[in-house]
Amino acid sequence: MFLKKLTLLNFKNYESAQAELSEAINCFVGDNGSGKTNLLEAVYYLSLCKSCFNIPDLQNIKIGEQFFMIDGDFHIKDETEKIICAVQEGLKKKFSRNKKEYTRLSDHIGLIPAVLSTPSDTQLVYAASDERRRFLNGLISQHDRAYLQNVIDYNKALEQRNRLLKNFAQTNTWDELALEIWDETMSQTGEKIFESRKELIDKLKPVFQKYYSFISGDNEEVSLVYKSDLENGSLKELLNESRQADRFAQRSTIGIHRDDLVFLIGDRNIKKTGSQGQQKTYLVALKFGQFDLIKGITSKKPLLLLDDVFDKLDAGRVERIISLVAEENFGQIFITDANKVRVDKVLEKVSSDHRIFKVQAGKLELVDK
């Protein structure tokens, strides 16, 4: 599975652009603000129907225009499949496969899996726990649809329960029966979410550690720990026990909405003790681990989008990442870099087929085959 041709119309800073891609390695080089990352975002759209940076669709329309279109010709199981994403002001987003429009976007998810590593992944280290839960959700829901529904149901119940608690405080009332209805939904869905997350991390951890150890040259010990209130008992019991605390706090103080992932280097949180290069290595290894996981589950090699992946890393780590991506294990890869010299050096060491595109103010030019 790979993307043969990408065509953009009014997408971000691209008025009109087209690229015939290599089925192995594609590099986009160019100055800051030229639109390198926008190309990865376009590919991501074709895979997951949305922006990888949580940008509302309409904001991705080129300034002054009314619509954008991303058109991808994929090679899937010896067939050409045409995937088109079109966004227009005032209309619903259109997403089609071979000219047949999807009624539900979720039906497309999974056809073309993709994994993105980008500098803004540092948010996973620095932001509050909801960012890490979103990462978990994204990871699991790419291959498990029931999971996403559970999360939606859980969040609805949680919202209702919190509204009740606030209302009790404002009206100085208390009704345990009313709470129990929501406890029930939260428990049922919460337990399933907990199991899915635990299982995922159990699988992800060893693969991730293998990659980290390789990239760092076996230099540091890292780990990945899933933390949940539900380690302390069933959610039903826990909700029961926390009633008085919840009443006082006017919100639900226990549940999988408080889950977190802890990123460790040695036995300390990498946020506080890891260097920036170590944090970067951690996040890249995490994404490579995600790649292996999806590949194992779907038997497809996800598209690998590497945005500025060599930044911050020392020469040894850069070299080991290159030797990784040159392996058979990976499929089609997209790399952005502001540094053409570095990309040339990188590709010297790679025997796989590759193409370099020069990006300049929303123009795309093949410079090296």
Residues that bind a second copy (CB under 8 A): 30-38, 55, 59, 63, 119-120, 122-123, 126-127, 169-170, 172, 216, 219-220, 266, 272-278, 280-281, 307-308, 311-317, 338-340
The least CB distance from residue 58 to a second copy, in Å, is 11
- Ramachandran quadrant class, 64 (left: phi over 0; alpha: psi -120 to 50; beta: rest): left
The residue (of 8 and 84) whose beta carbon lies closer to a second copy is 8
Contacts of the segment 358-361: beta carbons below 8 A, 24+ positions apart: 358/29, 358/30, 359/28, 359/29, 359/30, 359/34, 359/35, 359/36, 359/39, 360/30, 360/31, 360/34, 361/13, 361/34, 361/35
Nearest to 9 by CA among 84, 113, 81: 84
Strand order in the sheet with 303-307: 114-117, 303-307, 333-337, 25-30, 354-360, 363-368
The residue (of 272 and 369) whose beta carbon lies closer to a second copy is 272
The residue (of 231 and 348) whose beta carbon lies closer to a second copy is 348
Instruction: Classify the C-alpha dihedral 223-229-233-235 as positive or negative.
Output: negative
The residue (of 13 and 240) whose beta carbon lies closer to a second copy is 13
The least CB distance from residue 37 to a second copy, in Å, is 6
The least CB distance from residue 47 to a second copy, in Å, is 21
The residue (of 63 and 177) whose beta carbon lies closer to a second copy is 63
Q: How far apart are CA 79 and CA 95, in angstroms?
A: 19
The least CB distance from residue 63 to a second copy, in Å, is 8
Beta bridge partners of 79: 76
Nearest to 16 by CA among 29, 7, 4: 7
**Dihedral (Cα; 76, 80, 81, 83), 10-degree rounding:** 110
The least CB distance from residue 308 to a second copy, in Å, is 6
The least CB distance from residue 345 to a second copy, in Å, is 10
The residue (of 2 and 53) whose beta carbon lies closer to a second copy is 53
Q: CA-based angle 213:287:119, to the nearest 5? A: 105
The residue (of 106 and 339) whose beta carbon lies closer to a second copy is 339
The residue (of 123 and 242) whose beta carbon lies closer to a second copy is 123
The least CB distance from residue 317 to a second copy, in Å, is 6
- Classified as helix, coil or strand, 343 is helix
The least CB distance from residue 306 to a second copy, in Å, is 13
Burial of 223: CB neighbours in 10 Å, binned 0-12, 13-18, 19+: middle
Beta bridge partners of 86: 69, 94
